[in-house]
Structure 1
Amino acid sequence: MTAMPMIINALGQLDNPNAPRSADAAAELNQSSEQLTIDARTLADAHASGLTAVNITLGYTLGDLPPYEHTLHELDVWDAIIRDNAADLTKIRTAADLHRAREEGRIGVIYGFQNAVAVGEDTGRVATFADRGVRVVQLTYNQANHIGDGSMAPGNRGLTGFGRNVVEALNEHHLMVDLSHSGERTCLEAAKLSRTPVSINHTGCRALADLPRNKTDEELRLVASRGGFVGIYFMPFLNVSGHATAADVVDHIVHAVNVCGEDHVGIGTDGTITSIDDLDSYRTHLAEHVALRSAAGVGAAGERSDTLPFVLDLRGVDQFRELVRLLEARGYGSERIEKILGRNFADYAERVWAPEVSG
């Protein structure tokens, strides 16, 4: 493959984790977008990687901040970040915006949630979020909320009655229903209920690594059969040892393609482009962060003090080029690789996002 195709990261982050502010924030639970460092290196690395667009996490995910108020503030923060870096960043509202970002040489920023708690008891807030440019709403994080059970909720109860109303509201406003982190019943029920295709933007395949954060073949197949999207992450959960490698990433992509078909699989790395430079120092703080998550009840099975939340040999500005090389070595042709790197997400966005909201 001579030129890099459109690359859309279905879940990632723009940040320089080596900057003091970002490094200090890494060990906290109540993380805020104001603690990110989107500096010259962050932007240069994103461009150098070939990234076209990324679904970033903003708003309330976990902790003791007021969910709705914090989320509105985060939207203000990101609007300012994009405004202050307009030469490099552009806000994505439609599938057409994804293609425009590539043509203009800017990085598209997709506003997404990793927990829908900020909806509160008022589905009318979905309209507010949509108007502000949110395009992806993940129903739950690892724990249960008032919408459904997360992957670590022991009851596996599925969607609540209110959760069904939330899915319907997301459909009405043309937002992606993201079932990453959800429990199995929540995923299956939401995929069946939704009038529009749903996604699992960052996950692995449980058939290869039997951990709760990974999805069963039944979940993967159902999402794909209804026109949805599955993104494979670059995370430790791809190997039960907790030490996933680039080969594991490829194995999970191949399995997902075999289950879902090549038109429904992509990538959602759950990480940054800019690498952590001092891994020894990072490891000393990792155990503290994992312990905090465990104590707060928001960790996932497979998280340990020695499990890095990224794939060591698939990171940095060359991560996508290395993935291309590995997929080619597995016999994948250029068209299939282009689909996985970005075209499948763009096509999925076309099926869900309303064109009339652009602007």
Structure 2
Amino acid sequence: MTGTPMIINALGQLDNPNAPQSLAAAGDLNASGEQLTVDARTLTEARASGLTAVNITLGYVMGDLPPYEHTLHEIDVWDGVIARHPEDLLKVTSVADLHTAHRDGRIGVIYGFQNAEAVGDDVGRVATFAERGVRVVQLTYNQANRLGGGSMAPADTPLTAFGREVVDALNERHLMVDLSHSGERTCLDAAKHSSVPVSINHTGCRALTDLPRNKTDEELRLVASRGGFVGIYFMPFLNPTGHACAADVVEHLVHAVNVCGEDHVGIGTDGPVTAIDDLDAYRASLAEHVARRQEAGVSAAGERADTFPFVVDLRGVEQFRELIRLLERRGWSATRIEKVMGRNFVAYAERVW
């Protein structure tokens, strides 16, 4: 490939998981912004990786914190992080910002939710979140909420009447409706109800690995047919053993392109650029973390103490370039690779934002 492609991670982390105060090493989605570590290594390695922009998770996902208040607090925290690093980071609220980040060599930060619980019972909060710069809202996490079913709820749990109201509000405010983690019927219902194309920003293909966090061909095809976007993650759910490797990422991308077409598929790694340095020490903390998630009832089938929540041979600064090399070896054209690495997300954003 020639030139520098746009690399947009439809769901990832911007953090140094090796820092003592960081909880991201254990994948704790409920860590508050102050506990993340956006340090010099984080920024240097993110830029060195070629990353153009990343949709980060902020706000309430699970746990005992007050969803709305915690979410507003985390928006404040991230606004502060970006304000302290203007040479490295750019808050993305428009498609133009994606192009600016690419041109300037900065990292675009897209504010996104992995649970719409912070909406509470007040659809008007969607407008508040939009005004604060949120651009992606995932309807559910793994469990059911008042909008619909998560991946671990019964598969026939529908999008609720309130869920339809929230989708309408997200459409009106030009926010992405993300159906990652949703159950099958909720996903299909939302994709059909939405007047704007929807996305599944981080998932795998159920046809290859039959786990609830992965999406069926019916879900993938419907989202794509309505102009949406599907991001493939670098997660253990890509392999039935739980020990996914780079080759599995390639196979799921190939399958997704075969089902959705090459204009509707991208990447949503669900991880950071900076790799964990000491995997042996990490294993101990991972076992405790998985046990906590299982006890809280928020884990997904396929999460185990002996499976890393990332792909070991596709991480660190070279992860995107290595994926490009693997796709080239698979015979993909430069144009298709550029689409999947970032251009498809930009095109989808143009249809929504």
TM-score (norm 1): 0.97
CA offset digits 1:27-69 (Å, max 9, x no partner): 7574112111000000000000000000000000000000000
Name the amino acid aligned to 1:102. Answer: H
The superposition leaves residues 297-339 of structure 1 with CA deviations (integer Å, 9 ceiling, x where unpaired) of 0000000000100000000000000000000011001000000
Assess if the C-alpha contact under 8 Å between 1:95 and 1:350 holds in 2.
yes
The residue number in structure 1 matching 2:99 is 99
Alignment partner, residue 273 of structure 2: 273
**Aligned equivalents of 1:201, 1:102: Cα separation in 2:** 20
CA deviation after TM superposition for structure 1 residue 201, in Å: 0.1
Q: CA separation of 1:192/1:287 partners in 2, compared to 1, >3 Å: closer, same or farther?
A: same
**Structure-1 residue corresponding to 2:26:** 26
User: How do 1:182-221 and structure 2 match up within 5 A?
Assistant: 182-221=182-221
User: What percentage of residue pairs aligned between the two structures are identical?
Assistant: 77
The 1:27/1:260 distance shift into structure 2, 3 A limit, reads closer
For 2:212 and 2:24, the matched residues in 1 are separated by 29
CA distance in 2, matches of 1:21, 1:333: 43
What's 1:357 paired with? none
Shift in Å, 1:4: 3.2
2:350 aligns to what?
350
Q: Which residue of 1 aligns with 2:83?
A: 83
Give the match for residue 249 of structure 1: 249
- Superimposed CA distance per residue, residues 148-192 of structure 1 (whole angstroms, 9 cap, x where no aligned partner): 000001263111110110000000000000000000000000000
1:21–1:35 CA contact under 8 A, matched in 2? yes
- Residue identity opposite 1:156 in structure 2: D
Superposed counterparts of 1:61-72, under 5 Å: 61-72=61-72
> What is the 5 A alignment of 1:156-305?
156-305=156-305
**Distance (whole Å) between structure 2 residues aligned to residue 155 and residue 314 of structure 1:** 31
Aligned amino acid, residue 187 of structure 1: C
Query: What is the Cα deviation at residue 96 of structure 1?
Result: 1.2
Gaps of 5+ in 1: 354-359
Amino acid at match of 2:40: A
How many Å separate the matches in 1 of 2:249 and 2:299? 21
- More displaced 10-residue stretch of structure 1: 335-344 or 95-104: 95-104
Residue matched to 1:309: 309
User: In the alignment, what sits opposite 1:356?
Assistant: none
Residues 97 and 24 of structure 1: is their aligned pair in 2 closer, same or farther, counting only changes over 3 Å?
closer
Which ranges of structure 2 fall in alignment gaps of 5 or more residues?
A: none
Normalised to the residue count of structure 2, the TM-score between the two structures is 0.98
Query: Hey, which bits of structure 1, 4+ residues long, moved more than 3 A?
Result: 27-30
Aligned-residue offset at 1:250: 0.2
> Distance in 1 between the 2:245 and 2:26 partners?
22
Question: CA RMSD of the aligned region, Å?
Answer: 1.1
Distance across 1 between alignment mates of 2:280 and 2:154: 35
Q: Is the 8 A contact 1:25 1:35 kept in 2?
A: no
